[in-house]
Amino acid sequence: MADAFSLQDVLDSFKSSLSDNKEVFIKYYISGWRELVSFMNSLGSVFSFISKDAVNKIQILENLLMGENGTHYLTVQSMVKYELDNELVDLAKRSSHPESGCRTLLRLHRALRWLQLFLESLRTSTEDSKTSVMCSEAYNASLSPHHPWIIRKAAGMAFCALPSRNAFFEVMNAGSDQEVITLLGEALPLISEVHQITEDLYAKNNLLDLP
Ligand code: 1PZ
């Protein structure tokens, strides 16, 4: 099946997203997210409120990339420069640019931190580790402080519906448990690097709290 999820594809997308001079190509960044969303959809409809929001944000970025100013959206670096230079970002509160590329990508960027933490704890987990616990610990350390109570509540309920560690390893479609663990070990430094580059760029430009 051509469109079946594989962890390898996610890894490949994030790998392609890094340019030689360490810029992040938006095209591959969002294709990595698309893979992750298709994976999440395969886990059941409890997660659809999460994947809908992710798809919405992926779509906003894709529209910018495909739009008339698309050349400015080649990399996260060029997007930040273009939107700031042209005052296309709401810095203090949402007003005339509620869906800027910068604020939209920031939401995915925070979610990437969740992914990094979650995959790291999956990688180092043992057979009796609980995915719901790993997931909510990762969530509490990343996205949760940015979410209102109602979303935190809904997320917590969704986490309880996560498949077991064994089932999780299976759907990752990357071979034996040991092979999954090896692949996770390769994927994580890459995901961390993409995350760190974006984090530094956003910090330097004071963009980490965009409304
Ligand atoms: C496989 C397990 C999935 C667990 C995913 C853990 C993340 C839980 C996130 C809950 C988000 C709920 C829906 C909407 C949230 C939005 O309010 C926020 C802020 O956006 P704004 O309102 O400011 O426009 N959106 C986000 O924080 C982005 C969330 C993207 C989550 C993508 C998760 C993809 C997981 C892949 C799984 C392999």
Is the model's pLDDT at 6 over the cut of 90? Answer: no
Residue nearest to atom 6 of ligand 1 (CA): 139
Q: In a mutational test of the pocket of ligand 1, which residue from 36, 107, 149 has the highest number of ligand atoms less than 8 Å from its CB?
A: 107
* CA 63 to centroid of ligand 1, rounded, Å: 20
Q: In a mutational test of the pocket of ligand 1, which residue from 57, 105, 143 has the highest number of ligand atoms less than 8 Å from its CB?
A: 143
Is the model's pLDDT at 161 over the cut of 70? Answer: yes
ipTM for the predicted complex comes to 0.97
Q: In a mutational test of the pocket of ligand 1, which residue from 7, 41, 48, 50 has the highest number of ligand atoms less than 8 Å from its CB?
A: 50
Whole-angstrom Cα distance, residue 99 to residue 89?
Answer: 8
Overall pTM surpassing 0.90 (yes/no) = yes
Helix ranges (DSSP H) in the chain: 7-16, 26-41, 48-66, 76-85, 101-123, 131-140, 149-159, 165-171, 177-204
When pLDDT is cut at 50, 70 and 90, the band that residue 3 belongs to is low
Atom of ligand 1 nearest to the CA of 143: 27
On whether the CB atoms of residues 179 and 11 are closer than 8 A, the answer is no
When pLDDT is cut at 50, 70 and 90, the band that residue 12 belongs to is very high
Is the model's pLDDT at 80 over the cut of 50? Answer: yes
Is the model's pLDDT at 175 over the cut of 50? Answer: yes
When pLDDT is cut at 50, 70 and 90, the band that residue 173 belongs to is confident
Section 90-106 average pLDDT: 97
- How many residues are there in the chain? 211
What pLDDT score was predicted for residue 1?
A: 45
The four Cα atoms 6, 9, 14, 18 give a dihedral, to 10 degrees, of 160
What pLDDT score was predicted for residue 4?
A: 72
Q: Establish whether residue 29 lines the binding site of ligand 1, counting it when its CB lies within 6 angstroms of any ligand atom.
A: no
Whole-angstrom Cα distance, residue 14 to residue 18?
Answer: 7
Residue nearest to atom 28 of ligand 1 (CA): 107
When pLDDT is cut at 50, 70 and 90, the band that residue 148 belongs to is very high
* CA 111 to centroid of ligand 1, rounded, Å: 6
